[in-house]
Amino acid sequence: MNQNTSKFLAIVTTVIIALAPFHASNAKEKEYKVKITEDLSYVEVQQGGKMVRIERNQDTESRLSNSFTKTSRVCPPFCVSPIKIGENITTVGELELLEFLNTKVRDKKGLLVDARMQDWFTRGTIPGSANIPFTVLSMGIENEHIQKILTVLGAKNNNGEWDFSEALDLMIFCNGPWCQQSPKALKNLSKLGYPEKKLFWYRSGMQSWQQLGLTVSTP
């Protein structure tokens, strides 16, 4: 196993093991004029040993100034994805993602996955996510690195037969509806045998996340 793969596995393993409970709150100690929902002001998640509060930007005059303000990208490769990319893969929105953090991830039964390349991830991601680049998942099931990744995710290799019954639920995202990184990651996982009922897709990705003014963390 090369050094980069070892480092990647160590990071993902640490994220899975060390994720602390998440906390959804009405934030009574602070007045929120821009809430997530009428009854929810923020969700807290641990990342990098620190508690990060996922909330919306309270400045109602705020505007995006980064690359996510861009409306048009050359297609291919930046073509708009359909709402459904797998027969049993569930497409979700922001509230479902937050609920996933507050239940599946909190109980160590799920993992939020940023499927973008590492340079995108380090620029800013959704708090509580782990980076598994879609290119890593393109290798076949016989590849030892893939087998180690699947093991970290909770799958078991029984004499060449993979058992995913105790594998983590995975919610995967990338840059937005025009980004093909998370669709490729999901399709690759399905080809590896990962049950589609355990796969969830946040199709809107970082573009919509930031347009809603939700917290972005820099790993």
What does the alpha-carbon distance between residue 31 and residue 13 come to, in Å, rounded to a whole number? Answer: 37
* Phi, psi angles (nearest 5°) of residue 196: -65, -25
Predicted TM-score (pTM) of this structure: 0.90
- Angle, vertex CA 122, rays to CA 186 and CA 170, nearest 5: 25
Where residue 8 falls among pLDDT bands split at 50, 70, 90? low
Domain extents for the chain?
A: 3-56+66-211
Question: Over the chain, what is the mean pLDDT?
Answer: 91
What does the alpha-carbon distance between residue 50 and residue 71 come to, in Å, rounded to a whole number? Answer: 34
- Angle, vertex CA 185, rays to CA 182 and CA 191, nearest 5: 145
Q: Which residues contact 53 (CB under 8 A, 6 or more apart)?
A: 42, 43, 44, 215
Q: Which residues contact 155 (CB under 8 A, 6 or more apart)?
A: 162, 163, 164, 166, 167, 194
* Average pLDDT for 132-142: 94
Q: Which CATH class is domain 3-56+66-211?
A: alpha beta
* Average pLDDT for 118-136: 96
